[in-house]
Amino acid sequence: MGLTFTEFFKMKKILYLLSSAAMFIACDSRTYEEISDNTPITATVKYNSDVKSIVDNNCIGCHAAGSFKPLTTYTDVKNNIDGILNRIQRPNGDPGKMPQGGSLSQTQINTFIKWKADGLAEN
């Protein structure tokens, strides 16, 4: 009633192949963008409730009032949205990428994109 040596060897080989296939499938390679929070933003994005805090925490250090390109008010940010989108979406290593020395999360970038698509509402 027991397994013969040949049957045992075949069974062991099948188990090895199945476990190898399972490990191969489990070890897929994904990029940072695929694993980062890239959930679509469905609510209407507004400057005061959604965009201002991103600007205050990431841009004001260099873009304060009196700087070359201030981004301290709704009007400043609204009037510079195309440049902002250009700079925050540049690849790492690009000397024009903003914020300098860092990067916004994909969710923060999506917030700017959605704000523009929603018509750049203030409140």
**Could you give the CA distance from residue 50 to residue 45 in angstroms, rounded to a whole number?**
6
Q: What is the mean pLDDT of residues 21-32?
A: 56
Break the chain into its structural domains and give their ranges. Answer: 40-122
Global model pTM greater than 0.75: no
pLDDT value at 48 more than 60: yes
Contacts of 38 (CB under 8 A, 6+ apart): 106, 107, 110
- Specify the pLDDT at position 23: 61
Each residue's pLDDT tens digit, 67-85: 999 999 999 999 999 999 9
